[in-house]
Amino acid sequence: MAIRAEQIVSIIGSGYFEPIAVLIERSLKWRVTKRGSVNALYFDNIYSVSVILLMVAALESYATRLRYFHRRIAPGQRLTVANYIKRVFSDFRLQKAVTEVFVLRDAIFHNHLWEIDFIWRPMTLRSAALLPHLEDAKFKAAIDPRTRRTRNLRLHLIPTQVTRRDALKVMDVVWKVLLFLERKDRRYCYVSDHHVPFRGKMHLFSEVRDALAKAL
């Protein structure tokens, strides 16, 4: 009998969800407190930026899989994840939100540097200036110079000011996009029934998100 060859399209995708759940579980050991105007609290910040990087990595992973199935881009043409999904699905409504999520991802991953002036007792921010870096059009369009946040989601763009509230906003945007892709075709993405270990039991990944939201 002839042996039939099988084929898979390799992505990490939901493989990021378990380490995200671990990070969230650990972060919740520290009580959520009001952040200062200069920096977020250390443990709040380090777990939050890590969750954001992995959530966006998961989204980019599934977007790469979508590109595999559609291949609607001419050689040499580049589109962002947000613009590509919009190109494939005209009813996609999260283009601006996804763009802001990637702006924050870039600020964290490339560690945008800010010179921050502050005073002690109480610690109060006086000014913050972004040092020159390779800005792109989406960063300039997304940032509100007055608040140093994104214009729509109000995500902190000074990396050391990022908190679990920012992480939750990113999780919500990414999760909505993944469910959108799943509704289109489960070949692109199937995450709604994905379970991860959390607090000693197996939970839906969406329940991990709910635990974070409840703590804030």
- Per residue in 66-91, pLDDT tens? 999 987 665 556 889 999 999 999 99
Residue 135: band (very low, low, confident or very high) from pLDDT cuts 50, 70, 90: low
- Rounded average pLDDT over 109-138: 76
Residue 118: band (very low, low, confident or very high) from pLDDT cuts 50, 70, 90: confident
pLDDT digits (tens, 9 = 90+) for 38-69: 778 889 999 999 999 999 999 999 999 999 99
pLDDT digits (tens, 9 = 90+) for 143-171: 998 999 999 999 999 999 999 999 999 99
User: Does the structure show a pLDDT above 60 at 95?
Assistant: yes
Q: How far apart are CA 110 and CA 159, in angstroms?
A: 10
pLDDT of 165 reads: 96
pLDDT digits (tens, 9 = 90+) for 178-198: 999 999 999 999 999 999 999
Angle, alpha carbons 108-110-112 (nearest 5°): 75
CA 173 to chain CA centroid, nearest Å: 8
Q: How far apart are CA 123 and CA 43, in angstroms?
A: 18
Plot region of 157 (φ>0 → left; ψ -120 to 50 → alpha; else → beta): alpha
DSSP-derived secondary structure for the chain: -PPPP-------GGGGHHHHHHHHHHHTTSPP----SS---HHHHHHHHHHHHHHHHHHHHHHHHHHHHH--S-TT----HHHHHHHH-TT---HHHHHHHHHHHHHHHTT--EEEEEETTTTEEEEEEEPP----HHHHHHEETTTTEETTT--B-SGGG--HHHHHHHHHHHHHHHHHHHHH-TTT---TT-EEEETTEEEEHHHHHHHHHHH-
Work out the percent of the chain whose per-residue pLDDT is above 90. Answer: 67
What predicted TM-score, i.e. pTM, was given to this entire model? Answer: 0.90
pLDDT of 77 reads: 67
